[in-house]
Chain A
């Protein structure tokens, strides 16, 4: 029962494993850029061999960043039941859409072909690859580095009056407030429970009851969030914060030769995954 109230302890946002590896020392902008390119390439690749290449690559990145693979596996573990259910559904009901290739089973509405089996295996493997890649990125980059690099990457958009600095400030505020609200929410849950409210004691099939239990938490949560926002607005305005003003940054990133090399390697992998005609 007690652990239901320990929300703030279970939040892993901004988790960072400092191993000081080569990957950690890379320019965060390069890391982010390579990550986006690779994820898009993996999401669009549908061949067995291509996804095997992606899987090997993501395992290699774990090794290179000296982060224990258990961090990546802990992201995959809770997903296993979903993967299995989804795979079964796809296998049983999607044959008609992918009727190409060899037909293995054709029984009533169930049609299993080599193409539908490919779909099932590829989407499961693709999922694991993306989890691994995003864990390497977030575990080797601190949230400050991440927001700075987003700001720096988007800065060319300033030319067309896209509010780059504002967007990165919004991201920083969001990440900063998550733990604060988690603590507030814990207090609220305890306060409501001490008045006799119960959370999560109804069975999962009692959907309406479970939903009603949430209202006394969700609505005050929004109200607390908005009144905190008012405080922050007042604080920023009284310090004369002007959106759109020019400002300088404490830390400035400089990409060196090795950073560009990594970017080129990342792009090459993406091109390989997207355009190379894998035999199977």
Chain B
């Protein structure tokens, strides 16, 4: 593991954090699903992309930014609880990175897709577990929400992440700063 964050790590984490905040405040990050939790979300995608692109620390930081912004913007009591809003979100990017690194050698496409899918499920499962632990839901309600929200979330998350990461890898060849490598 690297000892310090590079300029690239800092900037990518900041920019993806901005996207996560923006998706939250414009409500664009919510997919309306008629369940108890109200909405499925795609706001965790920046955390996954951060994890895939720049490693676990950036994933963790973007997850923390997403968690704090969802805590501050929450309109549901469930997410006004820091234990539900912030803590589970720290793991999204880290898990996505682990999955990505594990599968990368076999196939880049498969690795990105699997990382997005499992990263999303991490969010769903951990948030719902905390919701049950902190007595906002019963286990039965949590299962229903998990199935009705989690699966569409995972599918949308996979599509968006694949599109973004693969486009970025193409773009990266021509546009990336070349100074980074020398520093």
Contact = CB atoms under 8 A, between A and B. Distances in A.
A230 B175 contact: yes
Given A225-B19, A230-B177, A237-B179, A243 B33 contact: no
Contacts of B3: 161
Given A13-B21, A126-B77, A204-B32, A174 B82 contact: no
Interface size class of A (residues with CB under 8 A): 35 or more
A170 B159 contact: no
Contacts of B141: 89, 93
Interface residues of B, number: 66
B110 interface: no
Given A167-B61, A238-B179, A82 B26 contact: no
A85 B77 CA distance: 11
Given A169-B14, A182-B22, A236-B11, A97 B4 contact: no
Contacts of A130: 80
B152 A229 contact: no
8 contacts: A13-B21, A97-B138, A170-B65, A173-B14, A207-B152, A211-B152, A222-B49, A243-B6
Interface of B: 3-19, 21-23, 25-26, 28, 31-34, 36, 38, 42, 45-46, 49, 61, 65, 72, 74-78, 80-83, 135-138, 140-141, 152, 156, 159-160, 163-164, 167-168, 171, 175-177, 179-180, 183
Interface of A: 7, 10-13, 39-40, 43, 78-79, 82-83, 85-86, 89-90, 93-94, 96-98, 119, 123-124, 126-127, 130-131, 134, 138, 161, 163, 166-167, 169-178, 180-182, 185, 204-205, 207, 210-211, 214-215, 217-219, 221-223, 225-230, 232-234, 236-238, 241-244
Given A215-B159, A229-B15, 16 more contacts: A13-B25, A82-B75, A93-B138, A96-B138, A166-B10, A170-B10, A174-B14, A176-B18, A177-B14, A210-B32, A211-B156, A218-B23, A223-B164, A226-B171, A232-B15, A233-B7
